[in-house]
Amino acid sequence: METIGQDLREMIRTPLATSHVEALRAAGKVVTHPKGTIMAQPGEKANRFVYVEEGEIEVVNPFTGERQYASTIGANQFMGEISLLYGGTASLSLRTVVDTRVIEVAREVFLTLMSQIPEMSDIIITVFSARRRRQLEERRSGLYLIGEEADRNVRRIAEFASRNRLPYTSVPLDSPEAAASAKSCSIDTRTPAVIFGSKIPITDATPDKIARLLGLNIDFSGDEHFDVLIVGGGPAGVAAAVYAGAEGLCALLVEDIALGGQAGTSSRIENYMGFPTGISGADLLWRGEVQAMKFGARFAMPRRVTGLEVQESGAFCAIFENGQRVRAGAIVVASGVQYRRLPLERLVDFEGSGVYYSATDMEARYCKDTEVVIIGGGNSAGQAAMFLSRYARCVRLLVRGASLAASMSSYLSSRLEADRGITIEYNCEVTALEGEEHLEGLTIRNTETGQSRKVVTQALFIMVGAAPNTEWLSGLVKLDDKGFVITGLDSPGSPFATSHPGIFAVGDVRAGSVKRVASAVGEGSVVISKVWEHVNLKATDRRNEHIDGTSRLDRGA
Ligand SMILES: Cc1cc2nc3c(=O)[nH]c(=O)nc-3n(C[C@H](O)[C@H](O)[C@H](O)COP(=O)(O)OP(=O)(O)OC[C@H]3O[C@@H](n4cnc5c(N)ncnc54)[C@H](O)[C@@H]3O)c2cc1C
């Protein structure tokens, strides 16, 4: 299956060309750092690009100060990873091994150079992506989680980091690593904890606090004005961000939970053109995010838009859940759909502690060698069953109807039937959940016979369809009777225009859309030409008003 970036160890490194190095030198300054200089610390703003001309830089363990990787950054190589593109923070400690001469270029200047020299940008982004991939795979980073398996709050941070492709280190509560790091931060060795940097335990860690520490651009003063605000970071929103950036629009994408949307929770997308061996949704969307960042689009997450207002000028003001606001000339609604929950007693108690709505690598780890129950008869449930059967002892798929024919693609249902690790039960529903802190079992009722029985399980996946995320639109656009956004009615020029000029809708949230990754990406891509027209029309109107106003003043009006 296709994966993000290349493997750093197998990669044939393409050095920067002499002309690239000259451009960096002309834009930055040459500095010699003595042996033992700390060049970056976890949590420190990634505000400069560093190219090594002579010398060596190593990655060090923030707790012990010892070298962490055998390989180092030598002459003709450079420091940094993807966080430099979005102005985030460093995630590793770096230190010079010997006196080291480097070229340092301020981030903003570096980004301008990247847009001017695409060949240099390709080389650097390839290495940055491969480094992020290695950090994700090796689970090494300045974000350190102790006791993910035992604590719901720590697990929430793990979920946020994992779904957003932010590297983190996770160690079990009673492990020697946990004891050593807890001791170095002077905290109780048996308490679950989130540590950032080397010695800062974070009390009451939330995804918001972590995003702030990682520098994920989530604060707004209210004065910012964007050409376009894209709400939702699924395939439709990320595609819109790529095209908006490429067309030179000043774009902000706001995402509530994790970039990737529903697609980000799919372990294997097999029907997206260009990836014959399949690609995980998270990888696909991460590629899109990097591409959009390269074109200058900004991302803010976790941030939820809760309301939308129209200003006198016709521009929009979006309100976030924390009360902050941003203004934009146009809105792309790409907020998709969210999973339906089931009316089960104690469901809330077990959400995140045995009850899950997506099946990613993270949930798969929690299900290792256990019995897993999945509710649902659609493609999402089928894909989850195939994926989890690789980790779980056995998978039980519960279907409300009498067959899968009407709800699941036939290639998938025949694979499920052929998989000996998967049992499919028809005409049944879950009626009760049991457990103390964590789910321990559930009751299944056969709707034909009326008989109930108990099953011991620590993992229940609920995948029973979805409802559109449109409540934040504040009644500004027409919705159909199920809450999906109606488009193309009042403005025949664009199939994605809503009933309100300047608001466009794409992807799953749009009434009548085909609920697939490819169509969401397609719609997100093509809508930008209409957004561009709208923004430019408004700018021309403003210029004309200004000229009219000036001439009136000149005439003494
Ligand atoms: C498990 C699973 C497997 C799938 N497999 C396939 C497949 O193999 N092939 C295929 O073609 N399709 C597949 N699909 C369907 C596909 O993923 C969707 O059609 C696609 O993701 C829709 O993209 P979207 O961008 O329109 O919306 P979504 O993916 O739903 O993304 C919407 C995003 O908006 C965010 N959001 C919502 N409200 C707000 C708000 N107020 N403020 C900020 N952010 C907000 C959400 O958090 C979400 O991230 C699968 C879906 C699932 C669930």
Residue by residue, DSSP assigns 301-322 as -S--EEEEEE-TTS-EEEEETT
Residue nearest to atom 26 of ligand 1 (CA): 507
Q: Look up the CATH number of domain 18-137.
A: 2.60.120.10
Residue nearest to atom 15 of ligand 1 (CA): 516
CA of 337 to the centre of ligand 1 (A): 6
pLDDT at 408: 92
Q: What is the mean pLDDT of residues 532-549?
A: 79
pLDDT of 221 higher than 90 = no
pLDDT at 235: 98
Residue nearest to atom 38 of ligand 1 (CA): 335
216 confidence band (pLDDT: 50, 70, 90): confident
Most confident of 54-63, 104-113, 274-283: 104-113
346-356 per-position pLDDT tens digit: 999 999 889 99
279-291 per-position pLDDT tens digit: 999 999 999 999 9
As given in the structure block, the two tokens for residue 482 are: 């199920």
487-525 per-position pLDDT tens digit: 998 666 789 999 999 999 999 999 999 989 999 999 999
Q: Residue 69: helix, strand or coil by DSSP?
A: coil
pLDDT of 1 higher than 80 = no
Q: With CA atoms as reference, report the closest residue to 397 among 360, 366, 422, 431.
A: 422
Q: Which residues have CB under 6 Å of ligand 1?
A: 231-237, 254-257, 261-263, 265-266, 269-271, 304-305, 334-337, 379-380, 383, 469, 472, 507-509, 515-518, 520
pLDDT at 184: 78
Give 347-464's CATH code, choosing from 3.30.70.330, 2.70.98.40, 3.40.50.11540, 3.50.50.60.
3.50.50.60
Q: What is the mean pLDDT of residues 128-152?
A: 86
Contact yes or no for 42/91 (Cβ under 8 A): yes
Q: What is the mean pLDDT of residues 154-160?
A: 91
As given in the structure block, the two tokens for residue 522 are: 């397609």
Could you tell me what percent of the chain has a pLDDT over 90? 63
Residue nearest to atom 48 of ligand 1 (CA): 261
CA of 284 to the centre of ligand 1 (A): 13
pLDDT at 107: 94
| Domain boundaries of the chain, sorted by first residue | 18-137, 143-213, 225-339+468-543, 347-464
Q: With CA atoms as reference, report the closest residue to 165 among 3, 274, 33.
A: 3
pLDDT at 552: 43
pLDDT at 528: 97
Residue nearest to atom 13 of ligand 1 (CA): 516
CA of 268 to the centre of ligand 1 (A): 14
pLDDT at 270: 86
| Average pLDDT value over all residues in the chain | 90
Q: What is the mean pLDDT of residues 248-271?
A: 91
pLDDT of 551 higher than 50 = no
Beta bridge partners of residue 228, listed in sequence order: 251, 330
Give 225-339+468-543's CATH code, choosing from 3.50.50.60, 3.40.50.1820, 3.30.2010.10, 3.30.1360.30.
3.50.50.60
C-alpha distances in Å from residue 321, one per residue of 158, 299, 308: 22, 16, 12
201 confidence band (pLDDT: 50, 70, 90): confident
Could you tell me what percent of the chain has a pLDDT over 70? 94
pLDDT of 458 higher than 90 = yes
Contact yes or no for 96/18 (Cβ under 8 A): no
Fold of 143-213: Glutaredoxin (3.40.30)
6 confidence band (pLDDT: 50, 70, 90): low
Same fold, 143-213 and 225-339+468-543: no
Kindly report the pTM of this predicted structure: 0.85
